[in-house]
Structure 1
Amino acid sequence: MTAQVPSIEFFEGISEELSNVSLRRNRSTGVRSVLMTFAHLKSLEKFNSFTKKFSKALLLIDTEGRISVEPSSVKFIFGGPEGDEIDRVECVFEIEREDHWERFMRFMNRYAEANGMAYGER
């Protein structure tokens, strides 16, 4: 049996490359928020989004299974000489329950290891 390579998908079957992730915690409520940044989306290239099923959520997939997350916001930031090129995509979601946070962190550790990412303080 082969191990599931950790992946992040907006559209079923199209793995996206995470450029950066920022983890925050609201000091007054304790609610954690996650900001995932993508330099580009494969699902937007070559009209892939028209040929694949939209998951209506962000899917985080690893050896433990699937995590389905509904983003509270998805922002497309444009740049380039004409201002019409996607510079990056920012996806934000909140995690309130401790067990969900622990599961998310296990996913992120696997994803980071598989993709050569490292944790750093700001």
Structure 2
Amino acid sequence: RIKVMVLVVHILALAFHVGSPARVSRVVPAHVSTPCARMMARAAEIQFIKGIDETVVPDIKLTRSKDGLTGTATFIFQQPSFLEATAGPQEEITGMYMVDEEGEIVTTDVNAKFINGKPRVVEAVFIMQNPPTWDRVMRFLERYAESHGLGFNSA
């Protein structure tokens, strides 16, 4: 039997159940990270192009294995701003970067859904392979919610 707990941050749902296979993802501490991630007291932001914050708030689904050792965070962006012409066609998307005062969390598992030949939905998946990484992602999500005026509601 699986216990289910739902925590809502805007349209953020958490569900604990068996996770999925691992994909490439990493956590970079602030002291090892890029200059933009080392800024003190930086608000939590998500970026697809380094240095350009994504303005669209994603739907986020978190899953965790029954034993609590692994988990998955899936971010779904409906018409993300980085797809607009202002980002420029020369900009390369190398992953999704979750940047805050602790550093940078990176995943390269980023996919787009095309509608009528144009990318409309972007999905990024971050695999949490141990409890400390789960805790780190949760701290990021709390900061992200706070910096975007979102609140936690327990359901």
Q: TM-score, normalization: structure 2?
A: 0.61
State the shift of 1:93 in Å: 2.0
Query: Percent identity between the aligned chains?
Result: 28
The aligned counterpart of 1:59 is: 97
Please state if 1:99 is matched with 2:132: yes
Please state if 1:34 is matched with 2:67: no
Distance 1:119 1:100, change over 3 A: same
Q: Does the 8 A contact of 1:6 with 1:107 survive in 2?
A: yes
Number of residue pairs matched by the alignment: 116
Distance 1:115 1:6, change over 3 A: same
Higher helix share goes to which structure? Answer: 1
Q: Distance in 2 between matches of 1:103 and 1:34?
A: 12
Q: Can you list the C-alpha shifts for 1:44-81, whole angstroms capped at 9, x where unaligned?
A: 21162534454x2321111122222232xx332334xx
Instruction: Report 1 or 2 for greater relative contact order, CA contacts < 8 Å, sequence distance ≥ 6.
Output: 2
The aligned counterpart of 1:111 is: 144
For 1:76, the aligned partner's letter is A
Q: Give the aligned CA root-mean-square deviation in angstroms.
A: 2.7
Distance 1:119 1:35, change over 3 A: farther
* Residue aligned with 2:146, SS: helix
Q: Flag structure 2 segments of 5+ consecutive residues without an equivalent.
A: 1-38
Q: Distance in 2 between matches of 1:114 and 1:29?
A: 28
Q: Distance in 2 between matches of 1:65 and 1:96?
A: 18
Q: TM-score, normalization: structure 1?
A: 0.75
* Residue aligned with 1:59, SS: strand
Q: Does the 8 A contact of 2:113 with 2:122 survive in 1?
A: yes
Which of 5, 17, 42 does residue 4 from structure 1 map onto?
Answer: 42
Which of 59, 72, 76 does residue 112 from structure 2 map onto?
Answer: 76
For 1:35, the aligned partner's letter is T
For 2:70, the aligned partner's letter is V
Runs of 4+ with deviation above 4 angstroms: 119-122
